[in-house]
Structure 1
Amino acid sequence: MTPSRGSWITLEGGDGSGKTTQANLLADWLTDAGRTVVRTREPGGSEVGQLIRDIVLHHRGDIAPRAEALLYAADRAHHVATVVRPALERGEIVLQDRYLDSSVAYQGAGRVLDGTEIRDLSLWAAEGALPDLTLLLDLDPAAARERLDSADKPFDRLEAEKAEFHGRVRDAYLALADAEPERFLVLDADSSVEDIAAAIRARVEALLS
Structure 2
Amino acid sequence: MNQIRRGGFIAFEGGDGAGKTTQLTLLESWFRERSLPYERTREPGGTPIGERIRSLVLEHGQGEVDPRTEALLFAASRAAHVVQRIEPALEAGRFVLCDRYVDSSVAYQGVGRQLGAEAVAEVNAFATGGLQPDLTVVLDIEPAAARARREGRDGDSDRIESAEDAFHERLRAAFLARAEADPQRYLVLQAADAPESIQAEIRVRVQELLSP
TM superposition score category, shorter chain reference: over 0.9
Q: Offset of 1:59 from its aligned partner?
A: 4.3
* Runs of 4+ with >6 A deviation: none
Match of residue 25 from structure 1: 26
Q: Offset of 1:33 from its aligned partner?
A: 1.2
Match of residue 3 from structure 2: 2
**How many residues of Structure 1 are paired with residues of Structure 2 in the alignment?**
209
- Whether 1:193 aligns to 2:188 is no
Work out the CA distance in 1 between the residues paired with 2:99 and 2:52: 17
Q: Offset of 1:2 from its aligned partner?
A: 3.0
Q: What is the letter of the counterpart of residue 95 of structure 1? A: L
Q: Offset of 1:37 from its aligned partner?
A: 1.4
Match of residue 89 from structure 2: 87
SS of equivalent to 2:108: helix
Work out the CA distance in 1 between the residues paired with 2:108 and 2:56: 16
Work out the CA distance in 2 between the residues paired with 1:75 and 1:165: 23
Give a deviation string over 1:2-43, Cα, whole Å, max 9, x none: 311000000000000000000000011011112011000110
Work out the CA distance in 1 between the residues paired with 2:191 and 2:66: 31
Q: Which runs of 5+ in 2 are unaligned?
A: none
Work out the CA distance in 2 between the residues paired with 1:59 and 1:3: 44
Q: What is the letter of the counterpart of residue 109 of structure 2? A: Q
Query: Map of 1:105-184 to 2, 5 A cutoff?
Result: 105-184=107-186
Give a deviation string over 1:72-107, Cα, whole Å, max 9, x none: 000010000000000000000100000000000000
Q: Offset of 1:184 from its aligned partner?
A: 0.4
Pairwise CA RMSD: 0.8
SS of equivalent to 1:79: helix
Q: In structure 1, which of residues 64, 67, 75 is the aligned counterpart of residue 66 of structure 2?
A: 64
Q: What is the letter of the counterpart of residue 119 of structure 1? A: A
